[in-house]
Amino acid sequence: MKKPIIGIDIGGTTVKTGIIDNDGNILDKWEIPTNRTNCGESIVSDIWKSLTERLDQNEMPKESVEGIGIGAPGFIDSDTGHVFEAVNIGWKNMPLSEELRAISKLPVFVTNDANAAVLGENWKGAGGNVKNLFALTLGTGVGGGIIVNGNILNGESGMAGEVGHTTVEPDGVLCNCGRRGCLETIASATGMVRQAKMKIEQHSESLLVSRYNASGNITAKDIFELANDGDVPCKDIIAYTADVLGMAISNAATLINPSKVLIGGGVSAAGEEFIQLIEDAFRNYSLARVSGICELKLAQLGNDAGIIGAAFLVKNKLQNIKF
């Protein structure tokens, strides 16, 4: 029997961990809070403490584990497991793989969290083990990952797949990355809320304004709910967001010619109508020979994608398994 693998997904709020068998089935999973105090200095030790406790509970000696895979936020060198910067948890120049390897005495491999999610979705989710795939996650930000010829695409400095920071409005608003007009400033939950606040100033009689005045706040969920109720400004936000997303997906698909595009993350849960608008825009902007062989689908694994994909990363590195 092949050894199980540990898959870890480090997020800004929680660290999700799973014990995964070699077929991608989750044997056990749990999560702990992400302790961001003192620039996240205790995160690695917290992970190892919780992991050893859970292995003990499952009567699994450390030696029975094949390796540890990690999906982490930020800019990462996947060859070395070095995190150059992860703003949302406070890491800068963090030798993540090296530190956990020193504590655990196990093989440790690290990739960007979006890449881990893509690996998971292609292995056990909506991807279906295709060789060429593009995926994006729509949440607080916009993440992306690319599989080409069966392998995750990292690029020279680990930045491949950062679709959220492709420019879609050259004179647009300032992004957290320091540049202007990134896809993330429009298509993320944060970007949609920003659009809504601009609409509030322009449409004083709308349902959007009434919702905002009643609660003092607006969310992406509010925008979709109000659009369903017929609010014109919110419908316009959704239409524009879907159009920009379709254009961005078309550009990415032209470069890598995937057989599937997967969309995940919280904003993607808005419903089939929103996804259909994105697909319509994608097919409108794309070359026929690109879109004709490409299927656009919703991701399936939800919060489990990261831990499953992190486990696949270990298989990829140690067993030379690829799609």
Are 313 and 269 members of one domain? no
> What is the residue range of 282's domain?
129-299
Are 230 and 311 members of one domain? no
Are 307 and 190 members of one domain? no
Question: What's the Rg (C-alpha) of the chain?
Answer: 20
Closest alpha carbon to 193 in 232, 213, 219, 211: 219
pLDDT value at position 205? Answer: 86
Q: Which two tokens stand for residue 177?
A: 């990355």
Is the Cβ–Cβ distance between 226 and 234 less than 8 Å? yes
Amino acid at 183: L
Classify residue 109 as left (phi > 0), alpha (psi -120 to 50) or beta.
Answer: beta
Are 143 and 108 members of one domain? no
Dihedral (Cα; 23, 24, 28, 31), 10-degree rounding = 160
Q: How far apart are CA 135 and CA 254, in angstroms?
A: 14
Burial of 253 (0-12, 13-18, 19+ CB in 10 A): buried
Are 154 and 273 members of one domain? yes
Are 97 and 144 members of one domain? no
Q: How far apart are CA 148 and CA 135, in angstroms?
A: 12
Are 108 and 142 members of one domain? no
Residue 189 forms part of a structural domain? yes
Q: Which two tokens stand for residue 248?
A: 């961005």
Are 55 and 144 members of one domain? no
Residue 95 forms part of a structural domain? yes
Q: pTM of this prediction?
A: 0.89
Are 158 and 237 members of one domain? yes
Are 193 and 273 members of one domain? yes
Residue 188 forms part of a structural domain? yes
Q: How far apart are CA 27 and CA 8, in angstroms?
A: 14
Are 253 and 138 members of one domain? yes
Tally the domains of the chain.
2
Residue 238 forms part of a structural domain? yes
Are 226 and 78 members of one domain? no
CATH of the domain at 276: 3.30.420.40
**CA 244 → CA 186, 193, 207, 280, 319, distances in Å?**
8, 16, 24, 11, 40
Residue 264 forms part of a structural domain? yes
Other CB atoms closer than 10 Å to residue 45's CB: what's the count? 13
Mean pLDDT by 10 residues, the chain (323 residues): 92 94 96 93 96 95 95 90 88 95 96 93 96 92 92 88 93 91 95 95 90 92 95 96 97 96 88 93 97 95 95 93 86
Residue 135 forms part of a structural domain? yes
DSSP state, residue 174: B
pLDDT value at position 63? Answer: 92
pLDDT value at position 75? Answer: 86
